[in-house]
Protein backbone atom coordinates (compact mmCIF):
# COMPACT_ATOMS: atom_id res chain seq x y z
CA UNK A 1 0.00 0.00 0.00
CA UNK A 2 1.15 3.56 -0.78
CA UNK A 3 2.28 5.39 2.36
CA UNK A 4 0.99 8.62 0.87
CA UNK A 5 -2.62 7.45 0.93
CA UNK A 6 -4.66 8.75 3.77
CA UNK A 7 -7.65 7.25 5.43
CA UNK A 8 -10.49 9.52 6.64
CA UNK A 9 -12.46 8.37 9.70
CA UNK A 10 -15.10 10.02 11.99
CA UNK A 11 -14.31 10.09 15.65
CA UNK A 12 -16.68 11.83 18.04
CA UNK A 13 -18.47 13.52 15.13
CA UNK A 14 -15.31 14.87 13.47
CA UNK A 15 -13.60 13.68 10.27
CA UNK A 16 -10.02 12.77 10.72
CA UNK A 17 -7.59 11.82 8.05
CA UNK A 18 -5.08 9.27 9.01
CA UNK A 19 -1.91 8.47 7.37
CA UNK A 20 -0.70 4.94 7.20
CA UNK A 21 1.72 5.66 9.95
CA UNK A 22 -0.95 6.71 12.41
CA UNK A 23 -3.38 4.07 11.39
CA UNK A 24 -2.56 1.78 14.26
CA UNK A 25 -2.80 4.51 16.87
CA UNK A 26 -6.10 5.82 15.54
CA UNK A 27 -7.49 2.35 15.25
CA UNK A 28 -6.59 1.72 18.86
CA UNK A 29 -8.19 5.03 19.88
CA UNK A 30 -11.30 4.11 17.92
CA UNK A 31 -11.55 0.79 19.70
CA UNK A 32 -11.22 2.52 23.07
CA UNK A 33 -13.89 5.04 22.12
CA UNK A 34 -16.21 2.27 20.97
CA UNK A 35 -15.77 0.44 24.24
CA UNK A 36 -16.42 3.63 26.24
CA UNK A 37 -19.50 4.29 24.17
CA UNK A 38 -20.74 0.72 24.69
CA UNK A 39 -20.08 1.04 28.43
CA UNK A 40 -22.02 4.32 28.51
CA UNK A 41 -24.92 2.71 26.67
CA UNK A 42 -24.83 -0.23 29.08
CA UNK A 43 -24.86 2.16 32.08
CA UNK A 44 -27.78 4.05 30.58
CA UNK A 45 -29.71 0.84 30.06
CA UNK A 46 -29.07 -0.20 33.68
CA UNK A 47 -30.18 3.20 34.96
CA UNK A 48 -33.35 2.95 32.89
CA UNK A 49 -34.09 -0.56 34.13
CA UNK A 50 -33.50 0.56 37.72
CA UNK A 51 -35.83 3.52 37.23
CA UNK A 52 -38.50 1.24 35.76
CA UNK A 53 -38.06 -1.19 38.67
CA UNK A 54 -38.43 1.64 41.21
CA UNK A 55 -41.44 2.98 39.39
CA UNK A 56 -43.02 -0.49 39.42
CA UNK A 57 -42.35 -0.88 43.19
CA UNK A 58 -43.83 2.53 43.84
CA UNK A 59 -47.00 1.65 41.94
CA UNK A 60 -47.28 -1.67 43.78
CA UNK A 61 -46.72 -0.01 47.18
CA UNK A 62 -49.25 2.62 46.35
CA UNK A 63 -51.86 -0.01 45.55
CA UNK A 64 -51.14 -1.81 48.86
CA UNK A 65 -51.23 1.33 51.02
CA UNK A 66 -54.62 1.99 52.63
CA UNK A 67 -56.39 5.05 51.45
CA UNK A 68 -56.88 8.04 53.69
CA UNK A 69 -60.59 7.26 54.01
CA UNK A 70 -59.84 3.72 55.15
CA UNK A 71 -57.31 4.93 57.70
CA UNK A 72 -59.77 7.51 58.98
CA UNK A 73 -62.53 4.88 59.29
CA UNK A 74 -60.23 2.53 61.22
CA UNK A 75 -59.24 5.31 63.60
CA UNK A 76 -62.90 6.18 64.13
CA UNK A 77 -63.73 2.55 65.01
CA UNK A 78 -60.78 2.37 67.39
CA UNK A 79 -61.86 5.55 69.17
CA UNK A 80 -65.40 4.14 69.44
CA UNK A 81 -64.12 0.91 70.98
CA UNK A 82 -62.05 2.88 73.46
CA UNK A 83 -65.11 4.97 74.39
CA UNK A 84 -67.23 1.82 74.84
CA UNK A 85 -64.59 0.20 77.04
CA UNK A 86 -64.31 3.28 79.22
CA UNK A 87 -68.11 3.48 79.49
CA UNK A 88 -68.34 -0.14 80.56
CA UNK A 89 -65.72 0.46 83.23
CA UNK A 90 -67.71 3.42 84.55
CA UNK A 91 -70.91 1.35 84.61
CA UNK A 92 -69.13 -1.50 86.43
CA UNK A 93 -67.69 0.84 89.06
CA UNK A 94 -71.10 2.48 89.52
CA UNK A 95 -72.76 -0.93 90.02
CA UNK A 96 -70.18 -2.02 92.59
CA UNK A 97 -70.58 1.26 94.44
CA UNK A 98 -74.38 0.88 94.48
CA UNK A 99 -74.13 -2.66 95.89
CA UNK A 100 -71.73 -1.59 98.64
CA UNK A 101 -73.89 1.38 99.58
CA UNK A 102 -77.00 -0.86 99.65
CA UNK A 103 -75.33 -3.41 101.91
CA UNK A 104 -74.11 -0.71 104.27
CA UNK A 105 -77.53 0.95 104.47
CA UNK A 106 -79.22 -2.43 104.99
CA UNK A 107 -76.95 -3.30 107.90
CA UNK A 108 -77.45 0.17 109.33
CA UNK A 109 -81.25 -0.12 109.15
CA UNK A 110 -81.20 -3.57 110.76
CA UNK A 111 -79.11 -2.22 113.61
CA UNK A 112 -81.40 0.79 114.03
CA UNK A 113 -84.61 -1.28 114.11
CA UNK A 114 -83.02 -3.85 116.40
CA UNK A 115 -81.86 -1.11 118.74
CA UNK A 116 -85.11 -1.14 120.70
CA UNK A 117 -84.60 -4.79 121.60
CA UNK A 118 -80.85 -4.73 121.39
CA UNK A 119 -80.33 -4.61 125.12
CA UNK A 120 -82.08 -6.28 127.98
CA UNK A 121 -81.65 -6.58 131.72
CA UNK A 122 -80.86 -10.14 132.71
CA UNK A 123 -81.97 -11.05 136.19
CA UNK A 124 -82.23 -8.78 139.19
CA UNK A 125 -79.18 -10.42 140.77
CA UNK A 126 -77.01 -9.90 137.67
CA UNK A 127 -77.18 -6.09 137.51
CA UNK A 128 -75.62 -5.96 134.03
CA UNK A 129 -76.85 -5.17 130.54
CA UNK A 130 -76.22 -7.82 127.89
CA UNK A 131 -76.30 -6.88 124.16
CA UNK A 132 -78.77 -9.00 122.20
CA UNK A 133 -76.66 -9.22 119.05
CA UNK A 134 -76.58 -12.97 119.45
CA UNK A 135 -78.89 -15.14 121.54
CA UNK A 136 -76.15 -17.68 122.01
CA UNK A 137 -73.67 -15.05 123.21
CA UNK A 138 -76.24 -13.65 125.64
CA UNK A 139 -77.05 -17.11 126.98
CA UNK A 140 -73.38 -17.90 127.49
CA UNK A 141 -72.80 -14.56 129.22
CA UNK A 142 -75.46 -15.16 131.92
CA UNK A 143 -74.83 -18.87 132.56
CA UNK A 144 -73.13 -19.91 135.75
CA UNK A 145 -72.32 -23.09 137.63
CA UNK A 146 -75.48 -24.11 139.47
CA UNK A 147 -75.49 -27.01 141.94
CA UNK A 148 -78.45 -29.37 141.62
CA UNK A 149 -79.32 -32.01 144.25
CA UNK A 150 -79.35 -35.76 143.70
CA UNK A 151 -82.73 -37.51 143.89
CA UNK A 152 -82.77 -40.91 145.63
CA UNK A 153 -86.02 -42.89 145.94
CA UNK A 154 -87.43 -46.40 145.63
CA UNK A 155 -88.77 -47.92 142.41
CA UNK A 156 -90.78 -51.04 141.62
CA UNK A 157 -88.96 -52.99 138.92
CA UNK A 158 -90.90 -55.44 136.73
CA UNK A 159 -87.97 -56.52 134.56
CA UNK A 160 -84.69 -55.59 132.86
CA UNK A 161 -83.86 -56.34 129.21
CA UNK A 162 -80.90 -56.13 126.88
CA UNK A 163 -82.88 -54.61 123.99
CA UNK A 164 -85.68 -52.11 123.74
CA UNK A 165 -87.78 -54.48 121.63
CA UNK A 166 -87.80 -57.12 124.38
CA UNK A 167 -88.73 -54.50 126.96
CA UNK A 168 -91.58 -53.21 124.78
CA UNK A 169 -92.92 -56.74 124.25
CA UNK A 170 -93.04 -57.37 128.03
CA UNK A 171 -94.52 -53.92 128.56
CA UNK A 172 -97.31 -54.76 126.13
CA UNK A 173 -98.08 -58.01 127.97
CA UNK A 174 -98.41 -56.14 131.27
CA UNK A 175 -100.46 -53.38 129.70
CA UNK A 176 -102.98 -55.96 128.48
CA UNK A 177 -103.46 -56.90 132.14
CA UNK A 178 -104.01 -53.27 133.14
CA UNK A 179 -100.54 -52.64 134.53
CA UNK A 180 -98.83 -49.53 133.16
CA UNK A 181 -95.03 -49.40 133.11
CA UNK A 182 -92.26 -47.06 132.00
CA UNK A 183 -89.10 -48.06 130.08
CA UNK A 184 -85.98 -46.33 131.48
CA UNK A 185 -82.80 -46.93 129.45
CA UNK A 186 -79.61 -46.93 131.52
CA UNK A 187 -76.14 -48.48 131.14
CA UNK A 188 -77.07 -50.12 127.80
CA UNK A 189 -80.02 -51.91 129.42
CA UNK A 190 -83.76 -51.23 129.49
CA UNK A 191 -85.46 -51.24 132.89
CA UNK A 192 -89.20 -51.80 133.09
CA UNK A 193 -90.44 -49.76 136.08
CA UNK A 194 -93.97 -49.86 137.45
CA UNK A 195 -93.78 -47.06 140.02
CA UNK A 196 -91.79 -44.79 142.34
CA UNK A 197 -92.17 -44.50 146.10
CA UNK A 198 -90.71 -42.54 149.00
CA UNK A 199 -91.13 -45.41 151.51
CA UNK A 200 -90.98 -49.21 151.67
CA UNK A 201 -94.64 -49.44 152.59
CA UNK A 202 -95.70 -47.36 149.60
CA UNK A 203 -93.52 -49.42 147.24
CA UNK A 204 -94.77 -52.74 148.67
CA UNK A 205 -98.36 -51.79 147.90
CA UNK A 206 -97.43 -51.37 144.23
CA UNK A 207 -95.62 -54.74 144.21
CA UNK A 208 -98.66 -56.51 145.65
CA UNK A 209 -100.91 -55.12 142.92
CA UNK A 210 -98.54 -56.37 140.20
CA UNK A 211 -98.11 -59.82 141.70
CA UNK A 212 -101.88 -60.20 141.95
CA UNK A 213 -101.92 -59.96 138.14
CA UNK A 214 -99.41 -62.81 137.82
CA UNK A 215 -96.24 -60.80 137.19
CA UNK A 216 -93.07 -60.64 139.23
CA UNK A 217 -91.87 -57.32 140.67
CA UNK A 218 -89.57 -56.15 143.42
CA UNK A 219 -88.46 -52.95 145.16
CA UNK A 220 -85.02 -51.43 144.59
CA UNK A 221 -83.25 -48.15 145.23
CA UNK A 222 -82.97 -45.80 142.29
CA UNK A 223 -80.85 -42.67 142.10
CA UNK A 224 -80.37 -39.74 139.76
CA UNK A 225 -77.07 -38.02 140.37
CA UNK A 226 -76.90 -34.32 141.11
CA UNK A 227 -74.02 -31.98 140.44
CA UNK A 228 -73.10 -28.66 138.86
CA UNK A 229 -74.49 -27.53 135.52
CA UNK A 230 -73.95 -24.33 133.57
CA UNK A 231 -77.35 -22.61 133.47
CA UNK A 232 -78.85 -19.20 134.09
CA UNK A 233 -79.48 -18.70 137.81
CA UNK A 234 -83.17 -17.98 137.30
CA UNK A 235 -83.60 -21.18 135.32
CA UNK A 236 -81.60 -23.18 137.87
CA UNK A 237 -83.71 -21.91 140.77
CA UNK A 238 -86.88 -22.75 138.90
CA UNK A 239 -85.81 -26.34 138.05
CA UNK A 240 -84.67 -27.02 141.63
CA UNK A 241 -88.00 -25.74 142.99
CA UNK A 242 -89.86 -27.93 140.50
CA UNK A 243 -88.08 -31.07 141.69
CA UNK A 244 -89.07 -30.19 145.27
CA UNK A 245 -92.70 -30.06 144.15
CA UNK A 246 -92.20 -33.36 142.32
CA UNK A 247 -90.89 -35.03 145.51
CA UNK A 248 -94.00 -33.85 147.36
CA UNK A 249 -96.18 -35.34 144.62
CA UNK A 250 -94.37 -38.68 145.05
CA UNK A 251 -95.25 -38.68 148.75
CA UNK A 252 -98.86 -37.75 147.99
CA UNK A 253 -99.26 -40.13 145.05
CA UNK A 254 -102.01 -42.14 146.72
CA UNK A 255 -104.01 -39.14 147.90
CA UNK A 256 -103.23 -35.93 146.03
CA UNK A 257 -103.41 -32.84 148.24
CA UNK A 258 -105.11 -29.86 146.61
CA UNK A 259 -102.55 -27.48 148.08
CA UNK A 260 -99.68 -29.45 146.54
CA UNK A 261 -101.29 -29.36 143.10
CA UNK A 262 -101.94 -25.62 143.53
CA UNK A 263 -98.27 -25.01 144.28
CA UNK A 264 -97.36 -27.13 141.26
CA UNK A 265 -99.64 -25.05 139.03
CA UNK A 266 -98.13 -21.79 140.31
CA UNK A 267 -94.64 -23.14 139.73
CA UNK A 268 -95.37 -24.09 136.10
CA UNK A 269 -96.88 -20.67 135.40
CA UNK A 270 -93.77 -18.94 136.78
CA UNK A 271 -91.36 -20.62 134.36
CA UNK A 272 -88.74 -18.38 132.70
CA UNK A 273 -89.51 -17.03 129.25
CA UNK A 274 -86.28 -18.46 127.86
CA UNK A 275 -84.97 -21.87 128.93
CA UNK A 276 -82.70 -24.56 127.54
CA UNK A 277 -84.03 -27.45 125.47
CA UNK A 278 -83.60 -29.95 128.29
CA UNK A 279 -85.59 -27.69 130.63
CA UNK A 280 -88.35 -27.37 128.03
CA UNK A 281 -88.58 -31.17 127.93
CA UNK A 282 -88.85 -31.23 131.73
CA UNK A 283 -91.61 -28.59 131.68
CA UNK A 284 -93.67 -30.57 129.16
CA UNK A 285 -93.53 -33.70 131.33
CA UNK A 286 -94.37 -31.70 134.46
CA UNK A 287 -97.51 -30.37 132.76
CA UNK A 288 -98.55 -33.91 131.81
CA UNK A 289 -98.00 -35.00 135.42
CA UNK A 290 -100.16 -32.17 136.74
CA UNK A 291 -102.97 -33.07 134.32
CA UNK A 292 -102.78 -36.71 135.39
CA UNK A 293 -102.84 -35.71 139.07
CA UNK A 294 -105.93 -33.59 138.53
CA UNK A 295 -107.59 -36.52 136.73
CA UNK A 296 -106.80 -38.82 139.67
CA UNK A 297 -105.57 -41.96 137.83
CA UNK A 298 -103.04 -43.62 140.16
CA UNK A 299 -101.24 -45.78 137.59
CA UNK A 300 -101.06 -42.91 135.09
CA UNK A 301 -99.68 -40.67 137.83
CA UNK A 302 -96.93 -43.21 138.53
CA UNK A 303 -95.86 -43.27 134.88
CA UNK A 304 -95.67 -39.46 134.70
CA UNK A 305 -93.74 -39.31 137.97
CA UNK A 306 -91.17 -41.68 136.44
CA UNK A 307 -91.14 -39.70 133.21
CA UNK A 308 -90.39 -36.42 135.01
CA UNK A 309 -87.65 -38.10 137.05
CA UNK A 310 -86.08 -39.46 133.87
CA UNK A 311 -86.30 -35.95 132.32
CA UNK A 312 -84.35 -34.62 135.31
CA UNK A 313 -81.62 -37.20 134.67
CA UNK A 314 -81.45 -36.09 131.03
CA UNK A 315 -81.32 -32.47 132.18
CA UNK A 316 -78.28 -33.25 134.35
CA UNK A 317 -76.36 -35.02 131.58
Quote the pLDDT of residue 123: 36
Quote the pLDDT of residue 87: 64
Q: Which has more pLDDT, 213 or 111?
A: 213
pLDDT at 7 over 70: no
pLDDT at 196 over 60: yes
CA-CA distance, 151 to 2, in Å (whole number)?
172
C-alpha 228: how far from its chain's center? 35
CA-CA distance, 266 to 250, in Å (whole number)?
18
Q: What confidence tens digit (pLDDT) does each residue in 126-164 have?
A: 333 334 443 454 445 478 899 999 999 999 999 999 999
Nearest to 111 by CA among 96, 131, 140: 131
Quote the pLDDT of residue 137: 44
Nearest to 171 by CA among 141, 280, 179: 179
pTM over 0.75: no
Quote the pLDDT of residue 143: 85
E-strand stretches of the chain: 6-11, 14-19, 119-121, 129-131, 143-148, 151-161, 182-186, 189-197, 218-224, 227-232
Quote the pLDDT of residue 118: 41
Quote the pLDDT of residue 291: 87
Quote the pLDDT of residue 290: 86
Q: What confidence tens digit (pLDDT) does each residue in 29-84 have?
A: 556 556 666 666 677 677 777 777 766 655 555 555 555 555 456 556 666 555 55
Q: Which has more pLDDT, 204 or 298?
A: 204
Going by pLDDT thresholds of 50, 70 and 90, the confidence category of residue 297 is confident
Quote the pLDDT of residue 1: 47
Mean pLDDT of all residues belonging to the chain? 76
CA-CA distance, 185 to 192, in Å (whole number)?
9
Q: Which has more pLDDT, 58 or 200?
A: 200
Residue 94: left (phi > 0), alpha (psi -120 to 50), or beta?
Answer: alpha
pLDDT at 314 over 90: yes
CB atoms within 10 A of CB 317: 8
Quote the pLDDT of residue 107: 76
E-strand stretches of 142-278: 143-148, 151-161, 182-186, 189-197, 218-224, 227-232
Q: CATH code for 152-224?
A: 3.30.70.1070
CA-CA distance, 51 to 45, in Å (whole number)?
10
- Kind and range of the H or E element at 111? helix 68-113
Given a contact cutoff of 8 angstroms between Cβ atoms, the answer to whether 249 and 308 are in contact is no
Given a contact cutoff of 8 angstroms between Cβ atoms, the answer to whether 11 and 30 are in contact is yes
pLDDT at 236 over 90: yes
pLDDT at 197 over 90: yes
Given a contact cutoff of 8 angstroms between Cβ atoms, the answer to whether 228 and 250 are in contact is no
Q: Is 98 helix (H, G, I), strand (E, B) or coil?
A: helix
Q: What confidence tens digit (pLDDT) does each residue in 246-256 have?
A: 998 898 776 66
CA-CA distance, 170 to 38, in Å (whole number)?
139
Quote the pLDDT of residue 229: 92
Amino acid sequence: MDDSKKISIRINGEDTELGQEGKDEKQQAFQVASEEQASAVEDWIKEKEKAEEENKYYKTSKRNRPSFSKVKSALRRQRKEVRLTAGMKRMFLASISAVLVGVFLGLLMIRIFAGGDGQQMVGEDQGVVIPADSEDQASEAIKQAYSFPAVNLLVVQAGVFSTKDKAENWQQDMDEQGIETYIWPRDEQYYLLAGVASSENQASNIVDEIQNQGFDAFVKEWSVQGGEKQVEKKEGDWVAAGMDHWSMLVEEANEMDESVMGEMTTWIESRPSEVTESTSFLIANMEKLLNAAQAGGQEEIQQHLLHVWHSYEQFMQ
